[in-house]
């Protein structure tokens, strides 16, 4: 493959991301919402409006609020972090490939992997609850929001994986404290929250099918999203280009 995306690096990254227990973790992330939905269908019988409430809550809180950042955290930090720790990154760096091509390839695979995990987590519950109040448009809108969230989260977490040996722990603290608590309780922090960006995009794409109370504006999403994306990408590329093997990145 020509250009900044290298097919071999992408294949290697894909093998790395889904190696060992991560494959099972990804499958459980994908299927857990469908399982919750099945339990709901068996136990609850409150009609279509309750199904819509369940689907929206499940997608916003469990999928976009929890599973999406966790999947992105695992894939984003693993894409480089594992290789730096065990020294296998050397095998990529001593090849005739621009280092930023390695980074671009890994970001793309991380994002696609996160989207691949989150998609069944949204689509399967929708298929189980599909009806007048749980529409395809709503599900697709949540998917669009999740795709943007995957891109931003993975870019940030991949940069974090290059920066710190404890990226997974730091990322987890960020997901729990900032995305989980601060951005929900302090309105000013919403305009920095990737979760809020995802929900805002879901609302904007839904044509009224998804309504988020106090969602950030679309222009804020594009501005802040672009700043986060460009900033994290540039910083990670710089770290990788300047990487010297004897030191921690």
Partner 1 sequence: MTTTADLDRSTTLSPSATPSGAQVALRNVSRWYGNVVAVNDVSFTLGPGITGLLGPNGAGKTTILHMMAGLLRPSVGDVLIDGAAATSTPQVYRRLALVPEREAVQPFLSGYEFVRTCARLQSLPNAEEATRNAIALVDLVEAQHRKIGTYSKGMRQRIKIAGALVHDPMILLLDEPFNGMDPRQRLQMMDLLRELAGKGRVIVISSHILEELDDLATNVLVMVAGRLAASGHFREIRRLMTDRPHTFTVRSSDDRGLAAALLADHTVFGVELTTSGLVVRTTDRGAMTRGLSRVARDARIRLLEIRPTDESLESVFSYLVDR
Site of interaction with partner 1 (CB under 8 A): 6-9, 11-12, 15-16, 19-20, 86-88, 90-99, 244-247
The least distance separating partner 1 from the CB of residue 125, rounded to whole angstroms, comes to: 32
The least distance separating partner 1 from the CB of residue 244, rounded to whole angstroms, comes to: 5
Q: What does the DSSP 8-state code read for residue 74?
A: H
For partner 1, give the closer residue by CB, 10 or 71.
10
Residue with tokens 């299927």: 31
For partner 1, give the closer residue by CB, 24 or 91.
91
The least distance separating partner 1 from the CB of residue 8, rounded to whole angstroms, comes to: 4
Residue with tokens 């409430």: 53
For partner 1, give the closer residue by CB, 83 or 179.
83
Q: What are the E-state strand segments in 2-112?
A: none
For partner 1, give the closer residue by CB, 36 or 243.
243
The least distance separating partner 1 from the CB of residue 153, rounded to whole angstroms, comes to: 24
As a whole number of angstroms, the distance between CA 23 and CA 21 comes to: 5
For partner 1, give the closer residue by CB, 102 or 209.
102
The least distance separating partner 1 from the CB of residue 221, rounded to whole angstroms, comes to: 36
The least distance separating partner 1 from the CB of residue 110, rounded to whole angstroms, comes to: 17
Query: Hey, what long-range contacts does 68-71 have (CB within 8 A, 24 or more apart)?
Result: 68/114, 68/118, 68/146, 68/149, 68/150, 68/153, 68/195, 68/198, 69/149, 69/153, 69/175, 69/179, 69/194, 69/195, 70/29, 70/175, 71/26, 71/29, 71/113, 71/114, 71/117, 71/118, 71/150
For partner 1, give the closer residue by CB, 104 or 123.
104
What are the distances in angstroms from CA 120 to CA 30, 91, 171, 198? 5, 34, 24, 17
């Amino acid at each position: 493959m020509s250009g900044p995306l290298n097919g071999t690096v992408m294949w290697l990254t894909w093998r790395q991301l889904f190696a060992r227990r991560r494959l099972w973790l990804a499958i459980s992330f994908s299927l857990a919402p469908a399982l919750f939905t099945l339990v709901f269908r068996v136990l609850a019988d409150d009609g279509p409006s309750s199904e819509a409430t369940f689907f929206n809550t499940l997608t916003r809180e469990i999928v976009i609020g929890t599973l999406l950042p966790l999947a992105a955290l695992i894939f984003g930090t693993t894409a480089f972090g594992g290789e730096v720790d065990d020294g296998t990154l050397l095998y990529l760096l001593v090849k005739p490939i621009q280092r930023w091509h390695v980074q671009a390839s890994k970001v793309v695979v991380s994002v696609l992997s996160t989207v691949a995990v989150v998609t069944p987590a949204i689509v399967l519950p929708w298929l189980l609850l599909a009806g007048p109040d749980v529409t395809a448009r709503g599900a697709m809108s949540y998917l669009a929001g999740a795709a943007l969230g995957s891109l931003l989260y993975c870019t940030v977490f991949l940069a974090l994986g290059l920066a710190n040996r404890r990226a997974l722990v730091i990322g987890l603290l960020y997901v729990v404290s900032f995305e989980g608590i601060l951005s929900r309780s302090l309105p000013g922090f919403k305009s920095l929250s990737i979760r809020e960006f995802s929900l805002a995009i879901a609302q904007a794409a839904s044509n009224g099918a998804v309504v988020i109370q106090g969602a950030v504006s679309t222009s804020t999403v594009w501005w802040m999203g672009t700043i986060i994306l460009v900033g994290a990408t540039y910083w990670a590329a710089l770290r990788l280009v300047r990487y010297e093997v004897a030191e921690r990145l």
